[in-house]
């Protein structure tokens, strides 16, 4: 870890929401960002992504959009000097602005503490020809949330061979919002009619005392055809006929504590093939078909990052 970082409270966040939100958090971010490295920029996009140093009151201390540790450390040293020279009164917000009613109404407030949170990792599987640069090793992460009732629907009766299925709505949400080729970058969710198959079967394998072992199997198919861009900004105004899809098998195992009514462990592996490209998923030169893998595991309690496509949950 950078030594210079120790003086700062580190935060990571999604920039698009901060650029749009009409709450105090968004307003403070925009105040800072419009003094930073992308201030006023509208082309090729209006993104303000990057690394910022700021005071709790929203005063700008420094920024850059680079991952070179030396440059980040240099920015932090300068930001610390600016903080030290600043009138202490300017560093702070009026306490009244930190009242709970000013807290942003983010999707994180729906974090299902009594449900199930899975961390999803996806990566290309080995093949004969692989990119020698970062794309050959790329992976991505997302978080998948289930409310308590949805989690309970995954637990069959505690007799070997008993089966359970999540509702069609939950199974489709799982596929639509989370099982997408995002290995190299973001990609649109599947529309409901593009999910051809979303089968997750939970079968009791064994019951020993308090612990019920559940075997998970299934299969997934989703596909889309139409006209869209596939090469970032380069062809953004020249959509061409495209198709994309996934065809995957599902295997996994979970252990359910009958007394605590929680999953002690939960693990799913999905593997199969993907094809096609979308505007920002970095597949224009690698449309496949090619093998892809996904792993879903129970997230740690401190992992409270909202699902990337949280808006698709429709939770109120």
- Residues between 200 and 229 with contacts to another protein, criterion CB under 8 A: 223
Number of residues that bind another protein (CB under 8 A): 87
CB of 305 to another protein, least distance (A): 4
**Among residues 35, 51, 232, 257, the one that binds another protein under rule CB under 8 A:** 51
Nearer residue to another protein within complex by CB, 59 or 150? 59
Of the candidates 263, 248, 267, 273, the one whose C-alpha atom is nearest the C-alpha of residue 119 is 267
- The span of 52-60, 148-156, 164-172, 202-210 binding another protein (CB under 8 A) equals 52-60
Nearer residue to another protein within complex by CB, 125 or 160? 125
Asked if 220 contacts 270 with a C-beta cutoff of 8 angstroms, the reply is yes
Give, as ranges, the residues between 123 and 162 that touch another protein (CB under 8 A): 123, 125-128, 137, 139-143
Q: Is 143 left (phi over 0), alpha (psi -120 to 50) or beta?
A: beta
Asked if 141 contacts 121 with a C-beta cutoff of 8 angstroms, the reply is yes
- The values of phi and psi at residue 163, to 5°, are -120, 160
How far apart CA 189 and CA 205 sit, in angstroms, is: 33
**Among residues 30, 35, 91, 135, the one that binds another protein under rule CB under 8 A:** 91
Give, as ranges, the residues between 225 and 284 that touch another protein (CB under 8 A): 243, 245, 247-251, 267, 269-273, 275-276
Nearer residue to another protein within complex by CB, 135 or 152? 135
The encoded tokens of residue 288 equal 């496949």
Asked if 210 contacts 236 with a C-beta cutoff of 8 angstroms, the reply is no
CB of 192 to another protein, least distance (A): 20
Q: Which long-range contacts (CB under 8 A, 24 or more apart) does 123-130 make?
A: 123/183, 123/292, 123/293, 124/183, 124/290, 124/291, 124/292, 124/293, 125/271, 125/291, 125/292, 125/293, 126/291, 127/290, 127/291
How far apart CA 28 and CA 94 sit, in angstroms, is: 13
Nearer residue to another protein within complex by CB, 86 or 152? 86
**Among residues 66, 71, 92, 238, the one that binds another protein under rule CB under 8 A:** 92
- The span of 80-88, 166-174, 192-200, 205-213 binding another protein (CB under 8 A) equals 80-88
**Among residues 74, 196, 295, 312, the one that binds another protein under rule CB under 8 A:** 295
**Among residues 76, 154, 175, 254, the one that binds another protein under rule CB under 8 A:** 76
Give, as ranges, the residues between 3 and 22 that touch another protein (CB under 8 A): 5, 7-16, 18
Sign of CA dihedral 107, 110, 111, 117: negative
CB of 210 to another protein, least distance (A): 26
């Amino acid at each position: 870890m950078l030594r210079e970082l120790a003086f700062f409270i580190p935060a990571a966040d999604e920039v698009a929401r901060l650029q749009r939100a009409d709450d105090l958090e968004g307003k403070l971010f925009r105040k800072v960002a419009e003094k930073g490295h992308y201030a006023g920029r509208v082309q090729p996009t209006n993104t303000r992504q990057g690394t910022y140093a700021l005071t709790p009151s929203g005063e700008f201390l420094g920024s850059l959009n680079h991952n070179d540790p030396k440059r980040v450390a240099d920015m932090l040293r300068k930001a610390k000097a600016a903080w030290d020279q600043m009138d202490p009164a300017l560093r702070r917000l009026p306490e009244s602005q930190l009242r709970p009613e000013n807290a942003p109404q983010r999707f994180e407030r729906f974090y299902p503490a009594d449900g199930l949170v899975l961390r999803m990792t996806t990566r290309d599987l080995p093949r004969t020809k692989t990119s020698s640069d970062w794309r050959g090793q790329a992976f991505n992460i997302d978080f998948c949330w289930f409310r308590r009732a949805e989690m309970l629907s995954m637990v069959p009766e505690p007799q070997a061979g008993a089966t359970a299925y999540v509702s069609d709505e939950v199974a489709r949400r799982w596929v639509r919002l989370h099982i997408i080729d995002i290995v190299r970058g973001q990609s649109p969710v599947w529309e409901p009619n593009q999910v051809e198959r979303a089968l997750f079967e939970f079968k009791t394998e064994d019951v020993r005392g308090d612990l019920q072992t559940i075997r998970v199997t299934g299969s997934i198919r989703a596909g889309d055809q139409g006209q869209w861009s596939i090469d970032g900004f380069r062809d953004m105004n020249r959509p061409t006929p495209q198709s994309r899809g996934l065809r995957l098998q599902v295997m996994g195992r979970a252990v359910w504590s009958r007394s605590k009514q929680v999953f002690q462990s939960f693990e799913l592996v999905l593997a199969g093939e993907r094809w096609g490209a979308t505007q920002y998923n970095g597949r224009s030169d690698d449309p496949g078909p090619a093998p892809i893998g996904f792993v879903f595991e129970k997230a740690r309690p401190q992992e409270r990052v909202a699902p990337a496509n949280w808006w698709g949950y429709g939770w109120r």
